[in-house]
Chain A
Amino acid sequence: MSVNISEKKGPVVQAKGIHKIFGNMNHVLRGLDLDVGKGETVVILGASGSGKSTLLRCINFLEAPTAGSIEVDGTLIRADAPANEREAKALEIRRKTGMCFQSFNLFPHMTVLENIIEGPRTVLKQNRKEAEEYADELLDWVGLTDKRGEYPSCLSGGQQQRVAIARSLAMKPKVMLFDEPTSALDPELVGEVVEVMERLAADGMTIIAVTHELHFARDVADRVMIMDGGNWVEEGTPEKIFNNPEQERTKRFLAHIL
């Protein structure tokens, strides 16, 4: 099954001059640019509090950037646009963007299948049959067909995260955002989630991932970007970043996590 269908050439995600200042003048992002091409897998690394998650959440407007612009698959939003226009464009961007959270955030009152068809049914107004057919394909793809009728509380963390990935994919997104998808998992469950992410990348999905899974960064990423204090420190291929980092800050960070 192929999950990524993007007809356009050029970057799928283009962020320019992103600043994020929270209410208490906490300046988290300090003018970041990010271009991600079609089918590219980008892994963002950095110490906790460096702003990685905030940047990811700015891309689909779960956080509104304080300055700058975001463009996803041809939909452009400027931070200073009028509120109602920004809201409407944000909906458009979110429909083209899948997101996986650290804590899965499955809907506990719905079964696995209901979780997956919720977006297509409510947002895309698909009929039940159409939505269920694709959901079953996705369940098969993440290897959870037998959990179709279960509630999330009966699933392990790894299984829940795989359902969450299927739920995002059901919207046929142009780009998938992963916000530390394995950080809340027991060590023995990390592998099954990373394996799904690897297959997703191999299928040509555009991926931006914030993760501490160095295997994934090393083996799957096309590009690794290091963030510190709301600025980019360094970027490059995994080989370059892990074997020949240029910046002192990158070396110190890698020394901590390797």
Chain B
Amino acid sequence: MGIEVDGAPEQGIPEEADRVLRQIEGRRKKYRRNLLISFAVLITLLVTAMIVLKLDFSFMMKWLPFILAGSGYTFLVSVLAITLACILAVVGALGRMSSNPVFNAVATSYVSLIRGTPLLVQVYMWYLALPQIGKALEELGLHGVQAWLTLPAVPAGILALGVCYGAYMTETVRAGIQSIKIGQTEAAMALGMTRGQTMKRVIFPQALRVIIPPVSNEFIAMIKDSSLVSLMGVWELSYRAVKIGRRHFQSLEMLIMVALIYWLMCILLQFVQERIETHMARGDRRV
């Protein structure tokens, strides 16, 4: 639309329409201005609160490198667990929709069991209870099993998080796949594609677009839930912050700092999500 808002009205546009368009543009500008002011006020309040509470900034800076060193674990656990969760989610979703009764039952039970139990319990299961299962199996004559099932803290954490989030994401992926109209499947089948080709070339790429926002949600939740591995004594971000905070009775500083670090990581992830979404939206109608 080539409507000049600031200059003279184009030919053929009545004076009234020109006035209305100016009003719309004015409202939009006002909204943007007020939005920026609101954000600025919120940030000012946050900083003011930090100053009023007499936060010990030098203490925070002193321990920052030590706390940050724990982000390596957070990062490692999150990335590997997310990878595992994605694989499980795709396999799980195919299972939930499968006409093979065994595959379907296994996938359905997986989702039901994992979603129905607390993550905390699952973490302890992988770390503390699995060796006991190994011991029982060992006694039944399966040699070497106990060593295999006695997991160090980090692998146990990755498995716990990956398996847990895989179950939630199974349902997200299934919903995404089922949201694609049946006509797409029919068109692909009519070209002679197999079921696998149809899924891979036509359905999944479209479903991916639908599931990126909810899956990003899961990723963000998982980064924060990765702090659960501290329960097994892994020195990751939050574990370090709590330790130092308690020792010096300056928990407030440490917790604020670690919260900001998590927040930054999630903002980064959100940025990546937006980039992917823009890329995926390329087939959309231009508005």
Residue ranges of A at the interface with B (Cβ–Cβ < 8 Å): 60, 62, 91-92, 94-95, 97-99, 101, 103, 105-110, 118-119, 122-123, 151-154, 164, 167-168, 171
Contact = CB atoms under 8 A, between A and B. Distances in A.
Given A94-B190, A151-B283, A123 B206 contact: no
The 5 A-B residue pairs with the shortest CB-CB distance, nearest first, are A95-B192, A105-B187, A119-B191, A105-B183, A99-B190
Contact of A110 (B181, B197, B283, B284): B283
B190 A154 contact: no
30 contacts: A60-B190, A62-B190, A91-B194, A94-B189, A94-B190, A94-B191, A99-B187, A99-B190, A101-B183, A101-B186, A105-B181, A105-B184, A105-B186, A105-B187, A107-B184, A108-B283, A109-B205, A109-B206, A109-B283, A118-B191, A118-B201, A119-B191, A122-B201, A123-B191, A151-B282, A153-B283, A153-B286, A154-B286, A168-B190, A171-B191
B282 to A, nearest CB: 7
Given A94-B189, A99-B190, A122-B197, A152 B283 contact: yes
B187 A106 contact: yes
Contacts of B285: 153-154
A43 B263 CA distance: 64
Given A105-B183, A167-B191, 17 more contacts: A62-B186, A94-B191, A95-B192, A99-B187, A101-B183, A103-B183, A107-B188, A108-B283, A109-B205, A119-B192, A119-B193, A123-B192, A151-B282, A151-B283, A152-B283, A153-B285, A153-B286
Contacts of B283: 108-110, 151-153
Contacts of B193: 119, 122-123
Nearest to B186: A62
Interface in B194-214: 194, 197, 201-202, 205-206, 209
Interface in B166-191: 181, 183-184, 186-191
A95 B197 CA distance: 14
B203 to A, nearest CB: 10
A152 B183 CA distance: 15
A151 B181 CA distance: 18
Nearest to A152: B283
A62 B192 contact: no
B200 to A, nearest CB: 9
Contacts of B189: 62, 94
A76 to B, nearest CB: 17
A167 B194 CA distance: 17
Contact of B197 (A106, A123, A167): A123
Contacts of A92: 192
Given A123-B197, A153-B284, A107 B187 contact: yes
Contacts of B186: 62, 101, 105
B120 to A, nearest CB: 40
A94 to B, nearest CB: 4
Contacts of B184: 105, 107
B226 to A, nearest CB: 33
Interface centre among A92, A101, A107, A110 (most CB of B within 10 A): A107
Interface in B131-184: 181, 183-184
A131 to B, nearest CB: 13
B208 to A, nearest CB: 9
Nearest to A177: B190
A110 to B, nearest CB: 7
A154 B283 CA distance: 9
A171 B282 CA distance: 26
A108 B206 contact: yes
B202 to A, nearest CB: 6
Contacts of B197: 122-123
B176 to A, nearest CB: 13
A171 B205 CA distance: 22
A101 B209 CA distance: 24
Contacts of A118: 191, 201-202
A123 B193 CA distance: 6
A168 B189 CA distance: 11
A154 B287 CA distance: 10
